[in-house]
Structure 1
Amino acid sequence: MKDSFVELRARERALALLDAGTARELVGPFDNLISPHLEPQGIVPESDDGVVLMRGQLNGQAVLVVAIEGAFQGGGIGEVSGAKIVAALEQALADNKAGKTIYPILVLDTGGVRLQEANYGLLSISEIQNTVVALKQYVPVIGVIPGRVGSFGGMSITAATLSYLITTKKARVGLNGPEVIEQEAGVREFDSSDKDLIWNTLGTTQRAATGIVDEVVTDDIATIKAAVSAAVAERKDSHRTDKADFYLSLLDQLDLDQPLDTQTYRDLYQHVQITKHTIPAAVSGDNPGTKSRGRLWFEALTGIKNAESSVPTVLHADKGGKAFIAITADEHNRFPRVRHGEVGLQEGFSVATIVNDIVAADADKATKRPIVLIVDVPSQAYGYKEELIGIHMSLAAAAVAEAKARQAGHPLIAVAAGDAVSGGFLAFGLQSNRLVVLDDDSITIQAMSKASAARITQRTIAELEAATEHVPAMAYDVKNYQKLGAMYQFVEGIDAWQADDQSVAKLAGIIDDAIASTVDQPTDLHFRYETDIAKASGRVATRRVRQAVADQWAN
C-alpha cells in the first residue's frame, strides 16, 4: 500500500514522523550493542536489538521517537532493548526537568517480554513504566500502535500508562495473547483459531469504543504524523490509569452469570453509574481464608488473624507506621480466574485505590508512610472477560499508583514470599525500590508459565529448561533470579510456608532495614543497577547501554 505507515520498519517509521533533515539516531546498529543472551541459545541477534531511538523535530518541536521493530523477536523487550528505551526516556526526563521541553513518542509493535530473556524483560518494562510516569509530570507521552504485532503482554500495560494512544484498524491491544489464554484456561475460554473473535475483542474498533485507545486513524504516513503532531501540540492526555472508580463501579454492575460479548460490554461501558470506592482496612474474621503464602505473611506481619476485606483478594492494613498490602487467593471468588491469587480486574484497580489513598493522606507529611507489598502472585488472570474489559488497564493502574507513591517519597518495599510471575509481578512488586526475596525453592519468579512459554517460543519444555543453563533470566527459581542483581536482600533460612515467631521477627527486621536504606536516596529504580551483583554480572549490558545513550544524547 502506498504511503502505508504499518508496512514500514521501525527505523523508517521513526524517520517518517520527524521533520526532514532533523533526525539523529542514538545507539544505532553501528554501535553494535547487541543482546548477550541470544547467541548462547542459537538465536541470531540484531545490531540494534530491535529498538530505534531518534531525536529530531516534529513541526519544529523537539521530540524523541522510540520505535520497536516487530519483525525482530516479535518486538519483545529484552535487556539491551529495554535499557535503550529507559535510558533515552530518562535523558528526555532530565531535559524536561531542566526546562528543555522534549516530547517522547513511542511506536509500539511488540508482544511484550522477550521470552528468551524473560526476567530481564520484566525488569526493563517496569523501568520503562516508571520513567513514563515521571515524564508525564512534565509532558504528555504519546503512543502509536500501527499494526502487524500490536501491543501485547507487559507492553500493553506500558501502552495503558501513556498519555494518548493513536492506532490504525490494523492494530490489536491486549495483555494476554489468545494462544496464551487458550494454553492457560482452555479453548472454551478463548479459541485462538477464531480470527473474528480475536479482532472483535482486541481490535482497535472495539478498543476505541471502550476507552482503551484514543484515536483510530487511516494507515497513511501523513495522517499518522498529523495525529501525533496534534497530540503533542494540544498536550493530549486521557488519564487512562486514573479511572479506578469507574472500573470498580463497572465491575460492581457486571453480571458474571450472563454472557458478555463486545456489544453487551459496550452498552455496559457507556452506562456505568460511577460511585466513589474506598477499600477499608482488613479486619479479623471468624474463619480462615484460602491458604496462600501472601495471606500467611500478611497476617503474620500485621497480627490480623483470619483477615477479611470488602475485596476478598486484596488485604491491607497499617502496622507500626507501615502500610501492608497483599493480593491473596480466594477459592470462592466471583471472578473464577483469580481464585488462586492471580491479579485480575478488581485486584489491580483496588490496589491502585489503596495506594492512591495512602499518597493523598500523606501528601502534607514530611515523612511518607512506607508501603510493603507482600508478593504472592502466580500470574495475571487469564480470561475472555478480563481481556474484553481490559485487564492490562487494571494492572497499569496499580503499577502507576505504586510508581507515583515511590516518586512522592514513600519507601516501596516488595517482599516476594510467594510466586512473582508475569503481569501480576509488573502490577504488584516490580515498581518497588527495594525487593526482598525469600530463598525458598517453592517460589517462582518468571514472565510466563513453562507450558505457555514453550508454545510461544516453539520449543519443548525440555529445551526451555536447557536454555536456562546459559541465560539465568530464563530460569524460574529464586537463586537464578538473584544473579540479575535486582534484589535488596536474598533471605536465607525462612520457609515461605512457615511464619513462626522467629521467622516473622527476622523478616520484619529486614523490612525495617530496607526502609531505612531508602532514606535520603533517589526515589527511582536505579538501585537495581548499582548492587554488587548488578555491576559484576547481572546488569553489565544495561549499564553499558545507559552510558552509551548518555554519551550520545547531547553530542
Structure 2
Amino acid sequence: MKNSFVELHARERALSLLDAGTSKEMVGPLDDMISPHLEPQNIVPESDDGIVLMKGKIAGNNVLVVSIEGKFQGGGIGEVSGAKIVAALEKALEDNKNGKTIYPIIILDTGGVRLQEANYGLLSISEIQNAVIALKKYVPVIGLVPGRVGSFGGMSITASILSYLIATNKARIALNGPEVIEQEAGVREFDSSDKDLIWNTLGTKQRLATGLVDEVVDDTVDNIKNSIINEIKTKKDAHRTENVDFYLSLLDQLDLSKKLDIESYNKLYKNVEVTKHDIPEAVAGSEEGTKSRGRVWFEKMTGIKNATSSVSTVLHAQKGGKEYVAIVPDADNDFPRVRNGEVGLQEGFAVASVINKVVAEDKDKDVKRPIILIADVPSQAYGYQEELIGIHVALGSSAAAYAKARQAGHPVIDFIPGDAVSGGFLAHGLQSNRMIALDDDSITIQAMSKASVARITQRTIAELEEATKHVPAMAYDIDNYEKLGALYKLVKGIGSWEATGENVAKINQIIDGAIDGLNGDRTLHFRYETPIAKESGRKATLKVRKLVDEQW
C-alpha cells in the first residue's frame, strides 16, 4: 500500500514521523547493544534488540519516538529493549522537569513480555509504566498501535496508561492473546481459530466504540502524523485508568447469568449509571474464606480473623499506621476466572479505588501512610468477557494507582509469600519501592505458565526447562529470581504458610527496615543498585542507561 505506516519497519516508522533532517538515533545498531540472554538459547539477537530510539521534531515540536519492531521476537520486551525505553523516557522526564518540553511517542507493535527473558520483561514493563505516569504530569504521552502485531500482554497495560492512543483498523489490543486464553481456559472460552470473533472483539473498531482507544485513522503516514500533531496541540488525556467508578458500576450492572456478547456489552457500556464506590476495610467474618497464602498472611498481619469484604477477592485494612492490601481467591466468585486468586476486572478496579482513596486522604500530610502489598497472585484472569470489557485497563488502573502513590511519597512495599505471576504481578506488586519474598520452593514468579510459554515460543516443556539453566530470568523459582537483583530481602527459614506470631513479627521488622531505608526514594532505581544487580543481575540494564545518558 502506498504511504502505508503499518508496512514500515520500526526505524522507518520513526523516520517517517520526524521532520526531515531532525532525527538523532540513540543506542542504535552500531552500539551493538544486544541482549545477552538470547544466544545461550540459540536465538539470533538483533543489534538494536528490536527497539529504535529517536529524538527529533514533529512540526517543530521536540519529540522522543520509541518504536518497537514487531518482527523481532514479536516485539517482546526483554532486559535490553526495556532498559532502552525506560532510560529514554526518564531522560525525557528530566528535560521536561527542567523546562525543556519534549513529547514522548511510543509505537506499540508488541506481544508484551519477551518470554525468552520473562522476568526481565516484567520488571522492564513495570519500569516503563512508572516513567509514563511520571511524564504525564508534564506532557501527554502518545501511543500508536499501527497493526501487524498489535499491543498485547503487559504492554497493553502500558497502552491503557498512556494519555492518548491512536490506532489503525489493522490493529488489535488485548491483555491475553486468544491462543493463550484457549490454552489456559479452553477452546469454549475463546476459540483462537475464529478470526472474525478475534477481530470483532479485540480490533480497533470495537475498542474505539468502548473507549479503549481514542482515535482510529486510515493507514497512511500522513494521517498518523497529523493525528500526533493535533494531540500535541490539544494535549488531550483519556484518563483511562482513572475511570474506576465507571467500571465498578458497569460490573455491578453486568448480568453474569448470561454469556456476554459484543452487542449486549456495547449497549451496557453506553447506559452505565455511575455511582461512587468506596471499598470498606475488611472485617472479621463468621466463616473461613477460600484458603491461600495471601489470605493467611493478611489475616495474621492485620489481626482480622476470617477477613471478609464487600469485594470478596480484595482485602484491605489499616494496622499500626500501615495500609495492608491483598488479592485473594474466592471459590464461589461470580466471575469464574478469578476463583483461584487471579487478578481480574473487579480486582484491578477495586484495588485502584482503595489506593486512590489512601492517596487522597494523605494528600496534605507530611508523612504518607506506608502501603503493604501482600502478593499471592497466580496470574491475571483468562476469559472472553474480561478481554471484551478491557482487563488490561483494570490492571493498568491498579498499577497506575500504586505508582502514583509511590511518586506522591507513600512507601510501597511488596511482601511475597505466594505466587507472583504475569499481569497479576504487574497490577499488584511490581510498582513497589522494595520487594520482600519468602525463600520457599513453592513460590512461582514468572510471566506465563509453562504450557502457554511452550505454545507461544514453539518449544517443548523440556526445552524450556533446559533454557532456564542458562537464563535465570526464564526460571519459575524464587532463588533464580533473586539472581536478577530486584529483591530487597529474600527471607530464609519461613515457609509460605507459616504465619506464626514470631514470623509475622520478623516480617514486620524487615518491612519497617525497608521503609526506614528509603530516605525519600520514590523511584524504582533500587532494582539497579543492589550488589546482585550491579554484579550480574542488571549489568546490561546499567550499560544501556549509561549509553542513553551519554548520547541524549
Instruction: Give TM-score scaled by structure 2 length.
Output: 1.00
Deviations 1:8-54 (A, max 9, x none): 00000000110011000011000000000000000000000000000
Alignment correspondent of 2:425: 425
Shift of 1:448: 0.3
| Deviation, structure 1 residue 258 | 1.2
3-state SS of 2:418 partner = strand
SS in structure 2 at match of 1:311: coil
2:441 pairs with 1:441: yes
For 2:66, the equivalent position in structure 1 comes to 66
Q: Report what 1:244 is aligned to.
A: 244
3-state SS in 2 of match to 1:152: coil
Is 1:27 paired with 2:21? Answer: no
Tell me the equivalent position of 2:493: 493
Q: Does 1:523 align with 2:533?
A: no
**Alignment correspondent of 2:346:** 346
Q: Percent identity?
A: 72
Matched residues in 2 for 1:501 and 1:408: separation? Answer: 32
Letter in structure 2 aligned against 1:228: I
Residue 364 of structure 1 aligns with an amino acid whose one-letter code is D
Aligned to 2:217: 217
Instruction: Look up the SS of the partner of 1:481 in the other structure.
Output: helix
CA distance in 2, matches of 1:368, 1:99: 28
- Counterpart CA distance in 2 for 1:224 and 1:505 is 56
Shift of 1:199: 0.2
The match for 2:119 is 119
Q: In structure 1, what is the Cα distance between the partners aligned to 2:546 and 2:236?
A: 32
Residue 518 of structure 1 and its aligned partner are, at CA, apart by: 1.3
What is the one-letter code of the residue matched to 1:468? T
Q: Please say if 1:384 is aligned against 2:347.
A: no
> Which residue of structure 1 aligns with residue 193 of structure 2?
193
- In the aligned structure 2, how far is the partner of 1:139 from the partner of 1:111? 26
- Tell me the amino acid that sits aligned with residue 305 of structure 1: K
- CA distance, structure 2, for counterparts of residue 27 and residue 189 of structure 1: 43
TM-score by length of 1: 0.99
CA apart distance, 1:496? 0.5
Gaps of 5+ in 1: none
1-side partners of 2:203 and 2:396: how far apart? Answer: 19
Mapped partners of 1:185, 1:374: distance in 2: 26
RMSD of aligned alpha carbons: 0.5
| C-alpha deviation, 1:278, in angstroms | 0.4
Secondary structure, aligned partner of 2:115: coil
Give the distance between the partners of 2:229 and 2:84, measured in 1 at CA: 24
Identify the residue that residue 459 of structure 2 maps to in structure 1: 459
- 1:317-336 alignment, distance < 5 Å: 317-336=317-336
List per-residue Cα deviations over 1:212-266 (Å, max 9, x = no partner). 0000000011011000111111111111110000000000000011121111111
Instruction: Say whether 1:129 aligns with 2:137.
Output: no
Q: Where do 1:298-309 residues align within 5 Å?
A: 298-309=298-309
SS at match of 1:116: helix
Alignment of 1:223-262 (within 5 A): 223-262=223-262
For 1:355-434, list aligned pairs within 5 A. 355-434=355-434
The structural deviation recorded for 1:519 is 2.8
Q: Distance in 2 between matches of 1:117 and 1:258?
A: 39
SS of 2:440's equivalent in the other structure is coil
- Secondary structure at 1:150 match in 2: coil
Q: Which moved more, 1:176-185 or 1:232-241?
A: 232-241
| Partner SS for 1:44 | coil
The runs of at least 4 aligned residues of structure 1 exceeding 3 Å deviation read none
SS of 1:173's equivalent in the other structure is: coil
Q: Give the partner amino acid of 1:351.
A: V
Partner of 1:297: 297
CA distance in 1, matches of 2:221, 2:90: 28
| Distance in structure 2 (CA, Å) of the matches to 1:519 and 1:37 | 34
Which residue pairs with 2:548 in the alignment?
Answer: 549
Residue identity opposite 1:178 in structure 2 = P
What is the match of residue 141 of structure 1?
Answer: 141
Report how far residue 548 of structure 1 moved: 0.1
Secondary structure of the equivalent of 2:91? helix
Match of 2:532 in 1: 533
Contiguous gaps of at least 5 residues in structure 2 = none
**The residue matched to 2:55 in structure 1 has which SS?**
strand
1:51-83: CA deviation from partner (whole Å, max 9, x where unpaired) = 000000000000000000000000000000000
Aligned-partner residue type, residue 530 of structure 1: E
Count of residues in Structure 1 that have an aligned counterpart in Structure 2: 552
**2:513 is aligned with what amino acid?**
D
What's the secondary structure of 1:151's corresponding residue? Answer: coil
Determine the C-alpha separation between the residues in 2 that align with 1:481 and 1:249: 38
Matched residue SS, 2:275? coil
Aligned residue for 1:413, secondary structure, equals strand
| CA distance in 2: counterparts of 1:211 and 1:356, whole angstroms | 22
CA distance in 2, matches of 1:399, 1:517: 23
Equivalent residue of 1:415, what SS? strand
